[in-house]
Every structure is written in structure tokens, then in C-alpha cells.
Structure 1
């Protein structure tokens, strides 16, 4: 990211801009995927994980929504290169802090880490596919409106330059509010994560359909805030669900599944400038927004497939590694000790099934342990 930003600052032709853009996309993929995966690996409890991912998403949205006015103001008063130089310094400082605070794994630790599920197997998992589709669909309005809304504002409401530059800034605050509300609701009712995502998609759809009816800048703020509020609900509810699905259906290594999430975002934003511009040119801005709204509303019922996710039990392979078998290496030992500290005790049977201090099975709520035959049975309790 530091290198690509420096190239942007001194780019003078299309070829240089293309190289800088490619490097920026590569760096963003590394940063987003690894950062979210580390958060999911660090916070194993669902409430803590939702809160941590919500904070991360809030800062990601801060960059996306505050960047246009930030860059516009610095470009206007300080020149073209200053915004990129400032961002390059921020990237460099963040990289130094990252190396200082986050200690890399030693070779011994890496040797004892489990092998993650291949990304192609995660992609064909129906539950992960539904979540990935929701992440793509919910970000389509934002990705399609960013390159088209400025021209529409100029042609329909004679918006000034500062109004077009500040279009998305007010939407940052309802986005943070959506993250906060979803985290709170997920802590109280964790079995309704799919419902929060579905509500968010309905809000996005309704807000998208409202955009063409706006006649001035003040009216336009409301539907854009609704779009960002709905995106916050979907992202904050479904990103922790991806980690939970990997925990219960695959191996608890999160890099691949959050790479899928990053691909979902990238698909929406890659199609934005090309597809949105073509739709506006051939059909019109109104039809673009109605189509985006309809797609979000129609996709919302698909999240009903996730309603039983919270009842899933860990897969047999995961239980073998972390619960039934003894620790085989440093990584397994660490995971075993962490589970002991969190759960405060194990059942007295030889299978070492996780239970609370009253000896109650934490997955089903019954005082029993799973035998070898039971652990290889259905995935639902």
C-alpha cells in the first residue's frame, strides 16, 4: 500500500496509474484478508468476535466514506501529491506498528498449525456461498452509485462541487450506528444473525429505490444513509457467521474464508464503474437504482438458509484436533488451554467433551457426552 500510494503521487501517465492501481488492489487484498482473519482467530467467542469485527468494519467504512472529501480538500488547497503523500506516511506508520505489536509466529509454531480447508472447498459450501452472495449484493448499490451519482446530481439538481464531494460523508455516522446496533443485538440474540442481515438487505433495497426521487442535496442524504446503515447490518452480522461456519464445518483457519469475503466485495466494486455506467447510459439512472433495490430485496429470503447455523455442532475433524485427542503440538496445546480457561472444565468421560461447570453439554444443553459414533453423525443438534 505504501508503494502504490507513492506511485499515485508521482504518476504522470496511464501506464503508471495502472501499475499503481494494481499494486493498491494487491495490497488491499493482503491487508483486508489477513487483518480480518487475525481478528477472527484472536477472538474465538462469538460476542467478542462480532464486536471486534464490527470495529474493523467501522474503520474500513471510515476510509471509504471519508476519502472523497479528504482527498478533495487536500487536492484543492495543497495540490495533487499531498493527499497521496499523507496516505503513504499513514501506511508506513501502520506497517511499523503492525510489526511491533503483532509478533510473528516462530517456525516451531507454524509447523504445529493445522492445515486450512482449500478455498475451492469453502466456495462450494452452500452456507458460505449464501453469505458471500449476500456480501456481494449488499455492496452493489454503494459500488454502483459512487461512479454515477455525481453526474446525476449535477444534471438533475445542479449540485455544486462541494456537495458532490461531501455526498457520502454523512453516511459514515449511520454506518457506525448500524455496527453498534448489530453488535448489541448479536450479543443478546446470537441465533438471529441471519435475520439482521436480511433486514439490512431490505433497508438497502428500499433506500436504493428512493434515491431517484430526491430533488436536492438534503433529501439525498437520507437514502444514502439508509444504504450505509443496511450495509453495516449485513456486514457486521454475516462476517462473524463466516468464521463460525469454518469452526463448525471445516478447520478453524480463517484466511481462505475471508479471502472469499474480500472477493465478494471486489466483485461488486469491480463491476461498478463498467456495469453501472453502461446501465445508466442505456436504461437510465432510475432503472439502475430500482434494479439494485429489487435485487437486494429478492436476495434477503435466501438468508433463511442460515437460520439453523447456530445449532450446528463442530465437525468431527475439529473435535478430534481440539477436544477428543490429546494435544499433538504447540498450537493444539495452546488451543486446548484456551478452551479450558473459557469453558472452566470438561466432562468426566474419556471423550473430553466440553461442558460447563455444571457438567452440561455446551452444544445441546443436556448432561451427556458424545461417543465416537455420535460425533460422526448429523451436523445439527
Structure 2
């Protein structure tokens, strides 16, 4: 009886959209924990292994720097040392009260160069993912979503183990790039699978909001978890924990999913070039790109800016992102349902405006508590944009092309990747040229300027043949969402349009 019962459970599980949603949720959760767990670890790890290691090998007996006075400029605590003539510091010579055990980091020039190197390391994941995404979209349209998703888990597990045991910048760079490949398979296949098992637009929006909640929870857990584990346990510890969780996710995929199933809509899928020429899809992709570019630029630059101006302990570098993560989790779950009622285009427009305002307020903070408000507003606003634009992508394909979702969610993931590639790779250079406040002002103004374009998505038109079908099915609302009967006829009319 037990084998028969387990087979019945597996059969019902494979047919359950909720269990598919759970698998996608866990996959996005682990991907984004690994994405953000390195944010507080890499800057301090490279500083301790490269800068402090080089200084200790050159002058092992060099005395520690005396902390600067409270009224000194921010850079003085990282670039200036106060050492008596005899080479030993004396308590009587200190004019300021005792400072915390850990002060600002020294080596201003090294930290300035590290902005660029850390930014390139963070961007390597998005750059590789950007190149792989189109091929993953084509692959999912041909063989289905299940095999690519499991392949993504395998690559992600290897990347996590490599992060745990990498001790040089080069190995960390390779591990980050490998993560980009695994993330491409997991995210494109996972979102496409969700869109296929939730054909109703309202249910799809709610499911996308829950799945993006896994993304948000990963971002929420990653940075604080990484900073605390790194400081109190060691560098390898957070990655080994993630590797164990990845194995559990792989076992869940083997039990629930159907790796041998082939997608039936592969022959009618709209080509990538057709989607990239669609102005409505491009507007939605641009909103995803520019709104996420703000937090992408914060990841490599905010910890180093905090080290130079606030002199925080290591654990605060990860905790600074906690308000953004919590508010993003709230925003995605709240507007996954609410955005469909008030208009997803309006949610995206308001969200991008709030993203810009929040970024402008980040440099005004003088301690970690001053970052709570701007970061919380930033995370909530990005949650509004993401939970609105991801369902719009699926709706635009249903309305204007064919209902095969691998390619369109490859475009959506490319938009994410462009933001997370351009942001970190150029953020360090912009900080050196304009300073950290100048960087935040530039990205904030870009989001505010782009926000009005979301109005274009208020009522996107269908293709000509599809509009005729929709007007026959829904004469009172010719631009409303297509019924399921009309959706089944849409791919055939799109093929006729392409032939003409």
C-alpha cells in the first residue's frame, strides 16, 4: 500500500500548480541568497587577504593606527595614522575618548580601486547570465521547463561549493560567473513554468508575487546571514549551509517535476527577435532594468562607502540591506494582488518614482540608522515594479504573440541582468569620478525620468487578427484580457500574421 500511496502522491504533486510554485519559490530563494550573501563578505575578505596581508608581510611590527578625533573628516580615519616619534602609541597622547575596537579601514587608495574590482566581480554573474539567457529561452521552448530547471540547480550547487573554498579574487570571479549560468536556467525555466501552469492572468499575477517573494526572502536573508556567519564562524560556513539547502531543493525537484516532458508549444513560439521589436515588451523590460539598477549599484558601493564614512563593524555591512529586503518582500506579496486592481502600469510608474527619490536620500545618512528609511523605500518600490512587470510580460505574449513563455521571460531576465551588470561594473568608476552622492543622484534621476513611460502599458493593443477575435468575444471591452477560449485560438492567428 505504501508504494501505491507514494505514487499517487507523486502523480497528484506533479499535476498541482501549488507544488510547482513551491519548487520555483525555493529555487529563486536559494539563487538570491547566494546572490547577496557575498555582498558583505567579498569587500572585507579581499581587504584582509590582499591589503592587510601585503602590509603584514612588508612590516609585521607596524603599530596599529590611533583612531582620529570625532570631529575629523571622514577620510582622515582611514588614511591618517598618529604614531609617536618612538614608534609606540601612548595612551596619554590620545586627545579623543576610546574608540570602538574596530575603526575605519586604512588604505584609501586600495579601497577606491576595490570599488571597481568588487563591482566587476558582482557584475560578472549578470554579464554571463545576460549571454546565456536567450539560449535558455530557446531551449525551454524546445524541451520544456523541467530539465533546464534541474540543470540550473546542479550548476548552482557547484558554484556554491566553489565559493566556500575559493581564496583568491580569480576563483571568486569564476564562481560568480558560474552562478550566472545556473541562475539563468533556474529563473527563466522557473518563471516560464509558472506562467504555463497559471493561464489565468489574475492567478498568474498572484503566483508571480509569491515566487518573487522567494526572491525577496533570499535577498532578505543573504546579506545579514553572510555578514554574521563570516564574522563569527568563517568564510566557508554560509556557503556550505547553502550547498546543503541546494541538495534538498534538488531532491524536491526530482520528486515533484517531470524532467522528460516536452513542451507542446515549442513549434509556435515567437522568436526572440520578434519580441525585441515589440515596443511594449521593451518598455516593460526597461522598467525592470532601471529600477533594479539602483540596488545593483548599491551592492558593491554602499559597504565601501560605509567603511570610509561610518566606520561600522562588519556585521552592519550586511544589516544595512535588511530594510530594503523586508520592504521588498512586503511589496511583492502586496502588489502581486493589488496591482491587478489598481493597474499594473500605475504601480510601476509610482514605484519607479519612489526608487529615484529613495536613491537621492541614501547619501544623506550619517550612520546605519539613517539608511533605514531610504533603503526601505527602495525595496518597497522595486517590489511594486517587479510584481507588476513580470505578469505584464506574460500578458503581452498572450495578447500580441504566442503563449510560449520561455523566450519572453528570458527577455525579462535579460533586463534584470543588464541592470545588475551595468550597475556594479560602472558604479565604481562613477564613484571615483563623481563620488557616491553623485552616483545615487544619477541613477535616481534616471528612474524618475523613465517612470512616465509606464503609461504606455496602460492598455496595450493586441495584434490585428487577435483584436478581431477579442472584439467578437468581448464586444464591450475590446482591449480587455482575452478569455481562455480566445487564448487557445491566438497562436494560430499569430502564425497567419507572420506568414503574411
Q: Structures share a fold, TM > 0.5?
A: yes
* Structure 2 portions without partners, runs of 5+: 1-155
Other-structure match for 1:302? 453
RMSD of aligned alpha carbons: 2.9
Deviations 1:257-287 (A, max 9, x none): 1111111111111123321111111111111
Tell me if structure 1 keeps the 8 A contact 2:196–2:405. yes
Distance in 2 between the 1:145 and 1:242 partners?
26
Other-structure match for 1:241? 392
Other-structure match for 1:99? 254
Distance 1:154 1:294, change over 3 A: same
Other-structure match for 1:164? 317
Tell me if structure 1 keeps the 8 A contact 2:157–2:243. yes
Other-structure match for 1:201? 352
Tell me if structure 1 keeps the 8 A contact 2:226–2:318. no
Distance in 1 between the 2:431 and 2:413 partners?
26
Distance 1:245 1:315, change over 3 A: farther
Distance in 1 between the 2:264 and 2:346 partners?
40
Distance in 2 between the 1:364 and 1:164 partners?
48
Deviations 1:221-252 (A, max 9, x none): 10001011110000001110000000011110
TM-score, L = length of structure 2 = 0.61
Computing the radius of gyration over CA atoms, which structure comes out larger, 1 or 2?
Answer: 2
Q: After superposing the two structures, state which structure 1 stretch, 278-287 or 146-155, moved more.
A: 146-155
Other-structure match for 1:68? 223
Q: 2:240 aligns with which of 85, 90, 105?
A: 85
Aligned residues: 332
Other-structure match for 2:364? 213
TM-score, L = length of structure 1 = 0.80
Q: 1:178 aligns with which of 316, 326, 331?
A: 331
Q: CA deviation at 1:115?
A: 2.8
Other-structure match for 2:409? 258
Distance in 1 between the 2:170 and 2:432 partners?
27
Distance in 2 between the 1:97 and 1:19 partners?
28
Distance 1:294 1:45, change over 3 A: same
Distance 1:111 1:147, change over 3 A: closer
Distance 1:174 1:301, change over 3 A: same
Tell me if structure 1 keeps the 8 A contact 2:228–2:315. no
Distance 1:198 1:97, change over 3 A: same
Distance 1:255 1:162, change over 3 A: same
* Structure 1 portions without partners, runs of 5+: 324-352
Q: CA deviation at 1:180?
A: 3.0
Indicate whether 1:51 and 2:206 are aligned: yes
Tell me if structure 1 keeps the 8 A contact 2:335–2:388. yes
Other-structure match for 1:29? 184
Distance 1:314 1:43, change over 3 A: farther
Distance 1:140 1:113, change over 3 A: closer
Other-structure match for 1:326? none
Q: Per the alignment, in what secondary structure is the counterpart of residue 264 of structure 1?
A: helix
Indicate whether 1:281 and 2:432 are aligned: yes
Distance 1:95 1:204, change over 3 A: same
Distance 1:318 1:35, change over 3 A: farther
Q: Per the alignment, in what secondary structure is the counterpart of residue 238 of structure 2?
A: helix
Q: CA deviation at 1:313?
A: 4.3
